[in-house]
Chains A and B, each alone.
Chain A
């Protein structure tokens, strides 16, 4: 992409006020972006893991993170999400769904490795016990009531099926 010459259009640019830029002072004006995707790119990080790419980009960025490549069912959903652009619900909602499924996969993964996750510690209940005992007790009681109610409801259903 090159800079076009508009000087043949009568009046072109006569009202340009470089100070009248709402992005000032956040943007140091260089107008480099007018030249398009033309900068000398840094070397490319070797793409040796699966990295999902926004379809609003022409390429993989010169560096990228390698934290958690997509895997399992959540990974499949993420791959699907990346078929839609960032402006689509079809991109974000599957990603949120994949995150929730990922949390379940994480527990399964822990168990497979013989590690039983300590949910109490992971949720920082020790700190809550120290600083907000009332809140924690409330939370546990509400949890217990809901669990009891669900168990009661399920067992009643089972009873009636057996009748």
Chain B
């Protein structure tokens, strides 16, 4: 089968790989119909996430048709068209029982912090992902969800990560009616977080980014105020000024380790790799929020040592909340929102690329070429 193949920093290609096997009685094999490239794939692409091994297939956002099931799979049947949340979750452990599907304790041997994630570094379990024709889906009865009749597969694939992650970013922010919410980053997740902030009753939504076409997009989609931080002397002072010198009630970091904007962070975090990516957006979030405010983090950071202003967290009495989205917990509500037209996820998809051209798709998304917001890869069998 065809599958994306990671060869090293900024080098990927399409290769023939063996068809995946059922390795566990609760596995399914899914024939991919859509798979996205995600902003967090770019951390892998750039070699910033430890234990990203050459030979891996990325892709944690995909939909597909069930091709084969293991002997213990009961809910899914062959032929079902499913959307597959990015978290691999057993449904039985203490954390899954609490709805923390992103923190499952029975899907990742290589680390204890995060659960298993499709097509991510081996730190997230070493599973091959969906940027391929076929993919092995463990615990097939737990998270994978049959796409509701009438739902566009383009909407469905966005429900595997982008929509729930953006929604959970707003949810974790504990937004109160009328709150001023600042979202750092106008990538797909930041755009969705800004949109969802309104659903929790925000009174004002501000987005900062440095790419003009993304600012234009989010202004229109979210709808919100959007500003280019490259045109500011200091984004933190800008936020203070525009909130009558109080700071925002809520700041959302939807950037993570790839942040632009601070030379020191870029050099130590992205070039020298002596810290886990550049924590610029997190700095700005902590320093722009009002005292007693809430910072919500869904940007992906590498492990351990970040140069984070923890002193200001203490001094300002900030609550920081962060997690990988628990997609399964949020799906019923979000499917409702999509069906009622409250959220229109597929509007974010700007590029449809044949799976065979995966290297070019990564380049376009990574370099923000051709006004790209979100690329989706289509395997030959789904065209």
- A residues whose Cβ falls under 8 Å from a Cβ of B: 22-23, 25-30, 32-33, 35, 37-43, 45-46, 51-54, 56-57, 60-68, 74, 78, 81-82, 86-89, 91-92, 95-96, 98-100, 102-107, 117-119, 121-128, 130-132, 135
Contact = CB atoms under 8 A, between A and B. Distances in A.
Contacts of B106: 41-42, 61-63
A43 B71 CA distance: 12
A92 to B, nearest CB: 5
Contacts of B52: 99
Given A28-B329, A65-B116, A39 B97 contact: yes
Contact of A103 (B9, B319, B359, B366): B9
Nearest to A102: B54
Interface of A is mostly: loop
B166 to A, nearest CB: 15
Interface of B is mostly: loop
B240 interface: no
Nearest to B369: A131
Given A45-B24, A64-B116, A78-B51, 11 more contacts: A51-B109, A61-B107, A62-B90, A63-B27, A63-B90, A64-B109, A64-B126, A66-B126, A102-B53, A103-B7, A130-B370
A86 B126 contact: no
B92 A61 contact: no
Interface of B: 7-13, 23-27, 47, 50-57, 72, 88, 90, 92-95, 97-100, 105-113, 116, 122-123, 125-128, 138-139, 168, 171-172, 273, 276, 302-305, 319, 321, 323, 326, 329, 359-364, 366-367, 369-370
A26 B97 CA distance: 12
A106 B97 contact: no
11 contacts: A22-B321, A26-B171, A26-B323, A33-B94, A53-B109, A67-B127, A68-B126, A106-B8, A125-B363, A126-B359, A126-B360
B116 A123 contact: no
A152 B193 CA distance: 52
User: Which one of A86, A117, A119, A126 has the highest number of Cβ atoms from chain B below 10 Å of its Cβ?
Assistant: A86
A60 B109 contact: yes
A124 B139 contact: no
A163 B138 CA distance: 67
A33 B110 contact: no
B122 A63 contact: no
B359 to A, nearest CB: 4
Nearest to B303: A92
B125 A64 contact: yes
A30 to B, nearest CB: 5
B122 A65 contact: yes
A102 B47 CA distance: 11
Contacts of A95: 50-51, 123
Contacts of B10: 123
A127 B363 contact: yes
B54 A106 contact: yes
User: Which one of A43, A62, A81 has the highest number of Cβ atoms from chain B below 10 Å of its Cβ?
Assistant: A62
A53 to B, nearest CB: 5
A63 B321 CA distance: 28
Nearest to A78: B51
Contact of B125 (A65, A96, A121): A65
Contacts of A64: 107-109, 116, 125-126
What 3 A-B pairs have minimum CB-CB distances, sorted nearest first? A124-B363, A103-B8, A65-B126
A117 B359 CA distance: 13
Contact of B92 (A22, A41, A45, A126): A41
